[in-house]
Structure 1
Amino acid sequence: MQFPESWLRTLANPELDTEQLAHCLTMAGLEVEETNPVAPPFSGIVVARIVEAEPHPDADRLRVCKVDDGSGELLQIVCGAPNAAPGLLVPLARIGAQLPGDFKIKKARMRGVDSFGMLCSARELGLSEDHGGLLELSADLSVGQDIRQALKLDDVLFTLKLTPNRADCLSLLGVAREVSALTGVPLQRPQSQPVVPAIHDRLPVEVKAADLCGRFAGRVIKGVNARAATPAWMVERLERAGQRSISALVDISNYIMLELGRPTHVYDLAKIAGGLEVRWANEGEQLELLNGQTVTLTPDVGLITTQDQPTSLAGIMGGEHSAVTLDTTDVFVEAAFWWPEAIMGRARKFKFSSEASHRFERGVDFQGLTEDLERMTALILEVCGGQAGPMDDQVIRLPERKAVAMRLARCQRVLGLPISREQADDIFTRLGLAHEWQGDTVTVQSPSFRFDINIEEDLIEEIARVYGFENIPDAPPVAPALMRVKPETDRGVHGLRTAMAALDYQEVINFSFVDEYWEKDYAGNEQPIRLLNPIASHLSVMRSGLIAGLVANIRHNAQRQQARVRVFELGRVFARDDSVANSDLSVAGVSQPLHLAAAAWGPSVSEQWAVPRRLVDFFDLKNDLECLLGKQARQLRCEVAVHPALHPGRSARVLLGETAIGWLGELHPRLVQEAELGSAPVVFELDVAAVLNQPLPKPEALSRQPIVQRDLAIWVADQVPYQSLRDTLTQTIAADANLSIVQEIALFDVWRDAERADGRKSLGLRFWLQNASATLDDATVEQCMQRLLDALVQAHGVSLRA
């Protein structure tokens, strides 16, 4: 929010300079983002009147002007501005004047004619980019007056960075109310006497949606002069607050919004003769707005209509159909209280924002509505003339302002300050908060302009703000240091991050809200959880997986000539689950598990001379997964399964024992093509809860006995997975105590004979056998190997390879 300091000081004028006032507001929670002078430094420039303007004898585009600068003698100035004409008041830079950019004015000779100064445009003074001609000044100014004083150019523009909860400070009155409370200076609220109706005309208004509009007030004003000039003081304040002057009626409406925080609207009465109706929109209705945009409406948007034709978006923007023009003579001025919930996010839905919606969705004072409308009426009558009708004020349903209690002891404990009852009482009084004490507990009635005071902590914050955050002593907190012993089996999410970083992955953090097509393409989710108020149209649903975000990270890097990318993310995903109930950390119907996903793309290792280049594959990621799981990797299983985002023949369901914990595989070729990647990334995604706890290692004495190694080459049907053979061997060993000497099993070879037509493959298995107490003899080893082979033959019909 931007405003000139001089405007603020008309409402509250403390004995503080600009820097001190900015600091005071910032320390009270109204951050002054920047302060800028209205005009850059310059000197020696005065108001002057052009007395004569004759063509230059030797230049078609130049004029020789005689200028009165108040010194008693006319100055000769050569000027090339097209609007230089007798009688015009313009800025004159005398000889010796200093212009912005350290440009000094000297006597000049132009095409043989002497020039004793320079007549200035707005751009030459640094006031705007307009350089089409001389800056034309008001005829009310005095000749010879310093231009900085005449135009109040020593003013300062304040830019506030307000938090969303402080909607009451989206006006000069709101900021002045804060200044008054902080400094103790009286608040000079803009006053205007109620307008006595001169006519009896009324406009019928029917409010059909109490959940949209809580209060609606308005009045008819006839015989206005819409072509009247907006007063110079109002134009100056509007422009310095970032508003462009349009016409008197529109300017007055904007002025009331900036001064009092009250968005209003002015209708051309001739275009709404049938009255107004306030209701929710019907599906498919259309409205052309004042900004030229035509919007198609939905039932969650409020409307003001006339004869069932939309005239404006409630609380957002007026329509072009009912807008006032310079030919308007009769108007209807309206001010209403729109429920914040009914306005919130609607403007963003149509991809624009307005000053009105910005205020209404945060909450606007609902009690001072008629007083603000009276001031607006008085300004219209003063500037545009006309006759006003009676005020119509419909109160449908207003917010209930519940009293909030604050315990003084609680306030002292939270702030760490010995705040007395007298100090708290004084602060609430200065803030204009009606309150009542019962012992050491104060009950505060929230005013109608403060939508941010709802709980005890809000009142404690008000105490801290006015007391002064900088006055709170910098004392370290004192608390008993009770150390909690972390279970050795729990490595936590930070342990997972450390493990992933050690595996050469870099962590990324992506948005939890994603594009809807991501959910359909990468997760097969046809009913994703939608956001009620998305920050962008392409970030409209909550993610149910992390893979899509990692692929986007890879694509971003690939487009910037990165040849090898390894990234991981640890974050929450969101899925519908009716079993989830509401709690402090959960939302009913939505499960929010923590997932860990990783993606690798490009060469398996960084390019180097000692290792041939090979693209990362399924087994590289599986190896990383085993390293991540540590001792749990013994229970890791990969079963062939289909995932929407993964290659149908190169993907697997990851299981830990019999529990499914995630997915592993190459990205689907179609998604690879969409991402414009030369090769497929390999990814895995796990449920973090399943891998957080690691079993403690059990130390065992090293055996002194030698290890015996045996290989077993078998033929097996091609469709039989190695995991099935491994499971059979594991179960057989567990069921026979004599087989406990088998320490490890590994697959070291897979071979298919092109000449065989029976669809069988050859697997080479290696076994390590060791007895902790005795050296193994050949008979025992052979008996063990035969027992294992028999189990494979019986379960899978394998045969020895010759």
Structure 2
Amino acid sequence: MQFSESWLRTFVNPDNLTTDALSHRLTMAGLEVEEVGPVAPPFDKIVVARVLATERHPNADRLNVCQVDAGTGETLQIVCGAPNVKPGILVPCALVGAVLPPTEAGGKPFEIKVGKLRGVESYGMLCSARELKLSEDHEGLLILPEDAPVGENIRRYLDLDDQVFVIKLTPNKADCLSIHGVAREVAALTGAPLTLPAMEPVAVTIDDRLPVKISAPDLCGRFSGRVIRGVNARAATPAWMVQRLERAGQRSISALVDISNYVMLELGRPSHVFDLDKIHGGLDVRWGRKGEQLKLLNGNTVEVDETVGVIADDKEIESLAGIMGGDSTAVTLDTTNIYLEAAFWWPQAIQGRARRYNFSTDAAHRFERGVDYATTVEHIERITALILQICGGQAGPVDDQAVNLPQRPPVRLRVVRAERVLGIALNPAEIADVFQRLGLPFTQGEGAEGTVFEVTPPSYRFDLEIEEDLIEEVARIYGFERIPARPPVAESEMRPTGEARRSTHAVRHAVAARDYQEVINFAFVEEKWERDFAANDNPIRLLNPIASQLAVMRSTLIGGLLDKVRYNLNRKAARVRLFEVGRVFLRNAGTGDGGLTVAGYDQPMRVAGIACGPAFEEQWGVPTRPVDFFDIKGDVEALLHPRQARFEPVSHPALHPGRAATVLLEGKPIGVIGELHPQWLQAYELSNAPVLFELDLDAVRDIGLPGYTEISKFPAAVRDLALVVKQTLRVQDLTDAMRAALDKQGFGRYLQSLVLFDEFRPKAASAAIGADEKSLAFRLTLQDTGATLQDETVDSAVRCMVEAATAAFGARLRG
């Protein structure tokens, strides 16, 4: 929002409030003043002058020798090359000694001196608007009005010491997108009286009306308009209006368009002026229809559908509702009869429509935030009065249709709640004073919670909906700078660190030490990932996602990791190993609200990793092979050390049916490990199958306390044991049976390790091993801490294991 200080002070003029003080007050009230600067750079000795006579320069075709009255008491001879110089005009004249601003950024100011141009002396310079840095127009001299006093300092005459404010408004402050809105805030902050322009009804001299039908009440809640005939569209826009428009960042176009823009900036009311003679029949305010097209004022031709509001006549669409008018009914300098429209468009019916067509307009910017629906008629009268004053004409009656206006229920404010939120003691009288200064109708009463205010939001305040909105208003007007900044008071203590638990940071280091790179992904993911990798058809949805595809909260880290693997593989990375430590989000009706919990949801932390490509970087010492399940199983076992995990087959939506396992610690599942399912390998266009794991972070952090174990002084006994079993037998089941047998016979205390070191499957049946059998070779290490184990004891332990394997699974020793 940009405007000049002088225009604002015509509405409200606080005594003894300087520009800097005004800027500070606005900023502290939530209307951040982003920039304040003069409308023109500093210069002096430039005055209003009249050109008395001109004649051609004797030595240059494009130069004129002018006789100029600058109010100095003598006629000045000035050489000028402007094409629009002629006798009788009033222009700015830089006298000898004047210093003009630089013509280019970074340039130096230049001083006007007596000089000769092609042999003719010149005692000054006639100036264009660009040379005074008032605009970029340099096609000719700046022509001043006929009532400009000759000799008057141009800074004083054009009010060039005026300041331009640029305010950065938050989206909720749509009521301040006008001079009236900002002035209303200044009046509330300072107590200065607010003066509004006259909006009295104009004299109605004709009975002409244009038939208007509102077919979409959910698009347009109120539509006001009137016919004005006999206007002079070629009338010049008054200099004071042009000046205010330019200082608000608007370019003067024509009188009718300038008046519409002026009232939009003045009162916050976008309006539209139709050429009445180009309208076919009446107007219909409705939703668009698929396939309809409209050529806009900006020259673009757009296609509308059922989600875009339009104003149409009996033949075609005439404008995009609340956004931009159409080219076919645009006013021109030949327009004589107009239809003036001001409407209330529902914000949700305008939001996003302009961006769909890749442009933005001042009207859409205001309507999608909410424009006062109660003052359409008054604003029509204001625009009409200006049109009749500047362009002449005869006005018809105002046709006003209100079909669907917002219902504004009162909003409650509890004083105790306001005190708790703001952290200060508030007197109900202070709150009542704030509401009175803001012009908010309210009632005050007493209840079980103390003093309660009920505020009815005005028609121009679309941002007042909940109690916190009113608390914000109290804070703004009370003064943010008056609210003390108190540091939080809390006990500071050194809390003991649990030796049995390592930190999350240590877990990250442990995974990174296994040759993984850490990534950080969004906690909100694609809904497809939840279906594919977690079989989750009811994910936790976001109310306001940052992107349409990131619409749900993740219940697994797999999707984000797989996406990053695919990203790297697409960029020719041959070997990718990534991990993430992050939070997932699960529904749980049993979870209640707490300091770190939200009712109905669990938010556990997990650690997950993924590996794709060669198991090792290419080298001479190890043959190149792709990473497999057992590589990642080793990483998981190292991560959980010294605790030992079990791995049981599992069915998981993201993992290969025969190459996936659940990770168990003390019989409790803590995660999964496995190779990516072949169907996702194809769906996500991956050439190699990644292997991944996902574990509960708390289980990984619980490593237990270190325990003392005596180191034996006696030698260990090592035996190799080869058993022939069915190929369908799981090694884990076989080792469990052998360990149980040792424990039962009292040999378990001697067992140091039982390791599978070889598996053999014959290509064809033989006398030793059948076609459906395999040979498993184990290395058994037995040791006693108190004495040397005797061969009889070792043999008994081995025999015990073989017998248990034979009894349970029909195993036999390989001959």
> Would you say same fold, with TM above 0.5?
yes
1:185 positional shift: 0.4
**In 1, Cα distance between the equivalents of 2:287 and 2:233?**
31
Moved more, 610-619 or 441-450: 610-619
Distance 1:641-1:407 versus aligned 2 partners, 3 A rule = closer
5+ residue gaps in structure 2?
A: 103-107
Residue 465 of structure 1 corresponds to which residue in structure 2?
A: 476
Write out per-residue CA displacement over residues 166-222 of structure 1, whole angstroms, 9 at most, x where no aligned residue: 221122211111110011101112222112322222222222333332222222222
1:513 positional shift: 6.3
5+ residue gaps in structure 1?
A: none
Residue 447 of structure 1 corresponds to which residue in structure 2?
A: 458
Equivalent residue for 2:161, pick from 154, 166, 186:
154
Residue 17 of structure 1 corresponds to which residue in structure 2?
A: 18
Paired amino acid for 1:97:
A
1:95 partner SS: coil
Paired amino acid for 2:39:
V
Report if aligned partners of 1:491, 1:692 keep a CA contact under 8 Å in 2: no
**In 1, Cα distance between the equivalents of 2:227 and 2:426?**
52
Residue 242 of structure 2 corresponds to which residue in structure 1?
A: 235
Paired amino acid for 1:184:
G
Would you say 1:291 and 2:298 are equivalent positions? yes
1:79 positional shift: 4.2
1:659 positional shift: 5.3
1:504 positional shift: 7.6
Give % identity.
Answer: 52
Equivalent residue for 2:425, pick from 418, 434, 437:
418
1:339 positional shift: 2.3
Equivalent residue for 1:104, pick from 101, 110, 121:
110
1:532 positional shift: 8.9
Residue 72 of structure 1 corresponds to which residue in structure 2?
A: 73
Residues 126-275 of structure 1 correspond to what in structure 2 (within 5 A)? 126-275=133-282
Calculate the TM-score normalised by the size of structure 2: 0.79
Distance 1:391-1:753 versus aligned 2 partners, 3 A rule = same
**In 2, Cα distance between the equivalents of 1:41 and 1:561?**
60
Distance 1:558-1:158 versus aligned 2 partners, 3 A rule = farther
**In 1, Cα distance between the equivalents of 2:11 and 2:85?**
39
Moved more, 206-215 or 57-66: 57-66
Report if aligned partners of 1:703, 1:773 keep a CA contact under 8 Å in 2: no
2:461 partner SS: coil
**In 1, Cα distance between the equivalents of 2:426 and 2:455?**
17
Moved more, 253-262 or 117-126: 117-126
Moved more, 370-379 or 785-794: 785-794
Report if aligned partners of 1:61, 1:80 keep a CA contact under 8 Å in 2: yes
Would you say 1:5 and 2:5 are equivalent positions? yes
Paired amino acid for 2:215:
K
Write out per-residue CA displacement over residues 490-537 of structure 1, whole angstroms, 9 at most, x where no aligned residue: 989788667667778776555566789999999999999998987668
1:43 partner SS: coil
Residue 36 of structure 1 corresponds to which residue in structure 2?
A: 37
**In 2, Cα distance between the equivalents of 1:628 and 1:790?**
35
Report if aligned partners of 1:667, 1:683 keep a CA contact under 8 Å in 2: no
Residue 376 of structure 1 corresponds to which residue in structure 2?
A: 383
Distance 1:409-1:771 versus aligned 2 partners, 3 A rule = same
Write out per-residue CA displacement over residues 9-68 of structure 1, whole angstroms, 9 at most, x where no aligned residue: 111112311211111111111111222332233333333444455554445555444443
**In 2, Cα distance between the equivalents of 1:62 and 1:85?**
12
Equivalent residue for 1:436, pick from 419, 439, 443:
443
Write out per-residue CA displacement over residues 120-139 of structure 1, whole angstroms, 9 at most, x where no aligned residue: 44444333444454444444
Would you say 1:634 and 2:635 are equivalent positions? no
**In 1, Cα distance between the equivalents of 2:147 and 2:782?**
108
Equivalent residue for 1:305, pick from 309, 312, 325:
312
Report if aligned partners of 2:737, 2:804 keep a CA contact under 8 Å in 1: no
Write out per-residue CA displacement over residues 387-422 of structure 1, whole angstroms, 9 at most, x where no aligned residue: 222222222232222222323333334333332232
**In 1, Cα distance between the equivalents of 2:657 and 2:310?**
55
Report if aligned partners of 2:738, 2:805 keep a CA contact under 8 Å in 1: no
1:326 partner SS: coil
1:257 partner SS: helix
Residue 125 of structure 1 corresponds to which residue in structure 2?
A: 132
**In 1, Cα distance between the equivalents of 2:421 and 2:325?**
46
**In 2, Cα distance between the equivalents of 1:277 and 1:421?**
50
1:426 positional shift: 1.6
Distance 1:157-1:658 versus aligned 2 partners, 3 A rule = same
**In 1, Cα distance between the equivalents of 2:96 and 2:559?**
68
Distance 1:484-1:113 versus aligned 2 partners, 3 A rule = same
Report if aligned partners of 1:714, 1:799 keep a CA contact under 8 Å in 2: yes
Report if aligned partners of 1:302, 1:313 keep a CA contact under 8 Å in 2: yes
1:104 positional shift: 2.8
Distance 1:681-1:16 versus aligned 2 partners, 3 A rule = farther
Report if aligned partners of 1:201, 1:390 keep a CA contact under 8 Å in 2: yes
**In 2, Cα distance between the equivalents of 1:354 and 1:651?**
59
Report if aligned partners of 2:722, 2:814 keep a CA contact under 8 Å in 1: yes
Residue 105 of structure 2 corresponds to which residue in structure 1?
A: none
1:601 positional shift: 8.3
Residue 735 of structure 2 corresponds to which residue in structure 1?
A: 729
Distance 1:597-1:79 versus aligned 2 partners, 3 A rule = farther
2:261 partner SS: helix
Distance 1:631-1:96 versus aligned 2 partners, 3 A rule = farther
**In 2, Cα distance between the equivalents of 1:507 and 1:774?**
49
Write out per-residue CA displacement over residues 736-777 of structure 1, whole angstroms, 9 at most, x where no aligned residue: 634745555556678999999989998775555556777655
Moved more, 187-196 or 414-423: 414-423
Report if aligned partners of 1:213, 1:339 keep a CA contact under 8 Å in 2: yes
1:47 partner SS: strand
Distance 1:639-1:65 versus aligned 2 partners, 3 A rule = farther
Report if aligned partners of 1:597, 1:683 keep a CA contact under 8 Å in 2: no
Report if aligned partners of 1:593, 1:687 keep a CA contact under 8 Å in 2: no
Residues 337-736 of structure 1 correspond to what in structure 2 (within 5 A)? 337-439=344-446, 440-477=451-488, 509-510=520-521, 541-542=551-552, 568-569=579-580, 598=609, 617=627, 625-626=636-637, 628-629=639-640, 634-635=645-646, 643=654, 655-656=663-664, 661=671, 684=692, 686=694, 691=698, 695=702, 697=704, 700-705=707-712, 724-726=730-732, 728-730=734-736, 733=739
**In 2, Cα distance between the equivalents of 1:612 and 1:458?**
67
Residue 47 of structure 2 corresponds to which residue in structure 1?
A: 46
Calculate the TM-score normalised by the size of structure 1: 0.80
1:445 positional shift: 1.9
Distance 1:495-1:638 versus aligned 2 partners, 3 A rule = farther
2:297 partner SS: coil
1:622 positional shift: 5.4
Distance 1:78-1:708 versus aligned 2 partners, 3 A rule = farther
Distance 1:542-1:295 versus aligned 2 partners, 3 A rule = farther
Moved more, 361-370 or 523-532: 523-532
1:472 positional shift: 1.7
